[in-house]
Amino acid sequence: MDRRGFIKTCTAVAAASLASPSFFISSLRAQEVEFKAYKKAILLKKDGTPLKPEEIDPEKQYLFFYPHRATPCILANLGKEIPPAEVKLSDGTTYRWPGGVGPKKSIVAYCAICPHQLSYPTPEFSFINYYPENIPSKIVKRGGVIQCCAHLSVFDPAKGGEVIDGPAPFPLTAIILKQEGDKLYAVGTLGKELYEDFFDVFKPDLRKLYKSSRKAKKLVDKCEVVEVEEYAKEVIRC
Amino acid sequence: MGARKLNGGAIMNLNRRDLFKIAGTGAVLGAVHVPSTACAVKSANSMLPPAKGNRVVIIGGGWAGMTAAKHLKKELGDGVDVVLIEKRKIFMSCPISNVWLGGLVDMEFLMHDFHTPAAKYGYTFINATVTDIDRDKRKVYTTEGYVDYDYLILAPGIRYNYDAWFKGDKKMAQLCATNFPSAFIPGSEHLALKRKVHNFEEGTFVMTVPPPPHRCPPAPYERAAMIAHVFKQNEVKGKLILLDPKDTIKPKGPGFRRAYEELYLGIVEYVPKAKVKEVDPVNKVIRTTAGDFKFDDANINPPHQAGDLAWKAGLVNPKTGWCDVNPLTLQSKLDPRVFVAGDASSVKGFPKSGDMAHNHTQNMVVKALVALLKGKDPLEAVKAPTNTCYSMVNGDPKEAIVINVLYDIDRKKKAPVKKKVNVINDRSSQLARSTFEWAKALYRDMFG
């Protein structure tokens, strides 16, 4: 932004903030895209032992819940080294996503709540899924993408969750993973979070699953990783 | 009753009996162009105290209006006063209504309340009928009083143009609308059509496809599939004849054709190039460019136009029947303080559909208006929309097809352009699941 552009923006923001003080705060908040640390949580197998990076099959997709008990994440091994990426937002701002983890730097995780209209995997259906190379998307006709079949938003898991196609207004929230020895941990999120809206609109569903909103929102310190196909009765692909 | 000044400034003498006559016709048949101000009292009472900042009034709580109200508040919070005026007591969704017609979801799936989102997002919901729009004074008159606006979002939907067929013969138009309701505007007509379809035992059931542009281009073909599904389930001795003024089925033609051939052979007869020349609702005959068709029962769909309130506001191009708008901001070409959102506006390449209304309202109308209110360039602020449209073609098992259109903003042409079209014509139960999730997600967005 040049000086003139900056002054213009400041004037507009100042004028708007005179009308409403909350506008100023909310517009600043909207600019903030940064790492947010949550409880460090170890990724475990169903038997309770730590999940080793090499046990993550590149032809499958996995699910765990982090940072809250009810907030789902997709875990995938993209099968190749995934370097860090600059993630672009539609307003032109960018943030840096650190890339894959594991011995091949190929393992990534994203919040499995669609940034468009919040579709997420339930025990009944999973509308938002990772498409490994062996299961290409019918929409973009290739694998290696995360796609939501509600309104056909397609995301790039190799580029920090950037939007490839469809109506999603911003990228998937990245889940930041860390490897220590041969153990994997989730440590926080990067990108715009949707948890507030998620807990609001799905309140009735989450109460059925977790008894109360309070229990659904509980922060976790360990995550059981399962195949999506084991969790949802039907995986919806398109 | 004495003389009353009408909207256009004309003086009209009406006695009480005439007034009832007109009111009755208007109520039964929106298509007959009765100046409804004749039956409305222009109330002098302001319904709301003056707004502290800018006030945006939204007329119409359909897909466009509900989207506008929520997203304006979401973007600007207390920085804008948003008022939504809607005449209906309850929201009924037109998208998914064909699936309901086929008996695959219950009515509750389609119904939503106006109160929860208004309370949640902080806009004012006024349940009243708009009687007049004074664009010079920037006032919207309703049956309950008037509201001042700084900007107006007009989202009146469509109205039926029976006049194109009946040329002023109001009695015949009324007969057609009453006996063979179109059900492209949600409400009583849908219930009437469902009874017809589910009660039909034998004979010929005719359905006409409205001439383009009409609300929801694939809707007639989906409806035909759902009616055929009911006929198949009920072992009806008869068929559904689908009269289409177009040369071929569009969009998702291969998907619909395959459904008719593979699922409903002998039940659906598709007739292309069948432009309606005359409808005789008494003798039950439709004369078309592809021949005359006698029917036992029918779903007769007249041409569509912009909704009544767009005409009342004087913003319709009479040559097209739709509102000319800036293709990026959807501001009326006649009044930049009025945005025409949803089906009433005419933008090249945009179909008239719930998803398109939702998308262009969120990405174009709201973004442009927010920029205007912040003193920025609205043309720079708009984002490219998308349009995703599922059609249910089988009821047992539930199977659907889908089209997804991605647009780009051509900044030089200052217009949206199609970037990519994705179509899946292979029907599947996965896409049927997605159809329901598509709807639920949009209802979540609009109704909280």
Q: pLDDT tens digit string along B296-317?
A: 999 999 999 999 999 999 999 9
User: Tens digit of pLDDT for each residue in B172-224?
Assistant: 999 999 999 999 999 999 999 999 999 999 999 999 999 999 999 999 999 99
pLDDT at A18 over 80: no
Q: Interface pTM (ipTM) of the complex?
A: 0.78
Q: What total number of domains does chain A contain?
A: 2
Peptide bond into B336 cis (omega under 30): no
Alpha carbons within 13 A on the beta-carbon side of B114 = 23
pLDDT at A89 over 70: yes
CB pairs under 8 A between A and B: 96
The pLDDT, as a whole number, for residue B406 is 96
The CATH number of residue B221's host domain is 3.50.50.60
Average pLDDT, stretch A185-202?
A: 96
Q: How many domains in chain B? A: 3
One domain, residues A2 and A47:
no
Q: Which helix (H) or strand (E) holds B222?
A: helix B219-233
A60-69 as b/e, with b when 16 or more CB fall inside 10 Å? bbbbbbbbbb
Q: How far is CA B93 from CA B151, B186, B190, B229, B439, in A?
A: 26, 7, 11, 21, 9
Is the domain of B268 the same as that of B195? yes
φ/ψ (deg, to 5) at B26 = -60, -40
Check CB contact of A20 with chain B, cutoff 8 Å.
yes
Same structural domain, B297 and B311: no
- Provide CB contacts within 8 A for A205, sequence distance 6+: A122
Residue B251: asked if its preceding bond is cis (omega within 30°), the reply is yes
Q: What is the pLDDT of residue A222?
A: 98
Query: Does A57 lie at the interface with B, CB-CB under 8 angstroms?
Result: no
B47 domain-assigned: no
**Around Cβ B373, how many Cβ atoms within 10 Å?**
24
Mean pLDDT of B66-73: 98
Q: State how far residue B164 is from chain A, nearest Cα, in angstroms.
A: 36
Q: Is residue A179 pLDDT above 70, yes or no?
A: yes
Q: Which residue of B has its CA nearest to A165?
A: B406
Looking at residue A34, its pLDDT comes to 81
Give the Cα separation of A115 and A126 in Å (integer).
15
- Its domain, for residue B132, covers 54-157+307-382
Pick from B339, B410, B323: nearest CA to B372: B339
The residue with greater pLDDT, A216 or B1, is: A216
**B66 and B124 housed in the same domain:** yes
How confident is the prediction for chain A on average, in pLDDT? Answer: 88
Question: Mean per-residue pLDDT for A189-213?
Answer: 95
**Residue B73, pLDDT above cutoff 90:** yes
Rounded to the nearest 10°, the torsion over CA B168, B345, B327, A87 is -160
Closest CB from B376, B406, B444 relative to A201:
B444
> What pLDDT does A4 receive?
42
**Mean pLDDT within A173-185:** 97
Identify the H or E element spanning B386: strand B386-395
What's the CA angle centered on B225, arms B219 and B227, to 5 degrees? 100
Average of pLDDT values for B234-254?
Answer: 97
CB contact under 8 A, B404 and A11: no
- Quote the pLDDT of residue B43: 60
Strand-strand pairing, B304-306 and B158-160: antiparallel
**Does position B71 have pLDDT exceeding 50, yes or no?**
yes
The verdict on B313 and B291 lying in the same domain is no
Residue A100 and residue A11 share a domain? no
Cα–Cα distance, B380 to B382 (Å, whole number): 6
Q: Which structural domain range is residue A12 located in?
A: 1-31
CB of B314 within 8 A of CB of B324?
A: no
Give a yes or no: residue B388 inside a domain. no
Q: How far apart are CA B433 and CA A232, in angstroms?
A: 13
Please tell me which of the candidates B54, B406, B434 has its beta carbon nearest to residue A150.
B434
CA distance B88 to A91: 38
For B332-367, the pLDDT digits (tens) are 999 999 999 999 999 999 999 999 999 999 999 999
Q: Is the pLDDT of residue A15 over 70?
A: no
Which of B301, B316, B346 is the last residue before a domain boundary?
A: B301
Average pLDDT over residues B256-278: 98
Nearest to A174 by CA among A218, A108, A127: A108
Mark whether A6 and A76 lie in a shared domain. no
Q: What integer pLDDT is reported at residue B42 of this predicted model?
A: 57
More confident residue, A86 or A31: A86
Neighbours of B378 (CB within 10 A): 22
The number of residues making up chain B comes to 448
Q: From CA B388, how far away is CA B431, in angstroms rounded?
A: 12
Rounded mean pLDDT, A80-102: 93
For the entire predicted model, the pTM comes to 0.86
- My answer on whether A22 and A95 are in the same domain is no
Peptide bond preceding A204: is omega within 30 degrees of 0, i.e. cis?
A: no
Whether residue A136 is predicted with pLDDT greater than 70 in this model: the reply is: yes
**Residues A157 and A43 reside in one and the same domain:** yes
Report how far Cα B233 is from the mean position of its chain's Cα atoms: 30
Q: How does strand B124-127 pair with strand B80-86?
A: parallel
In angstroms, the Cα distances linking A223 to A55, A65, A67 are 15, 6, 9
Does the pLDDT of residue B74 top 70, yes or no? yes
- Answer whether A68's CB lies under 8 Å from A219's CB: yes
Nearest Cα of chain B lies from the Cα of A43 at a distance, in angstroms, of 30
Alpha-carbon span B435 to A215, nearest angstrom:
31
B contact test, residue of A27, A117, A142 with most B CBs within 10 A = A117
Same domain membership, residue B293 and residue B313: no
pLDDT value at residue A32: 56
pLDDT in tens, B109-158: 999 999 999 999 999 999 999 999 999 999 999 999 999 999 999 999 99
- Banded model confidence at residue A90, pLDDT cuts 50, 70, 90: confident
Q: Which two tokens stand for residue A12?
A: 């507009």
B79 contacts A20? CB cut-off 8 A:
yes
Closest-CA residue of chain B to A168? B386
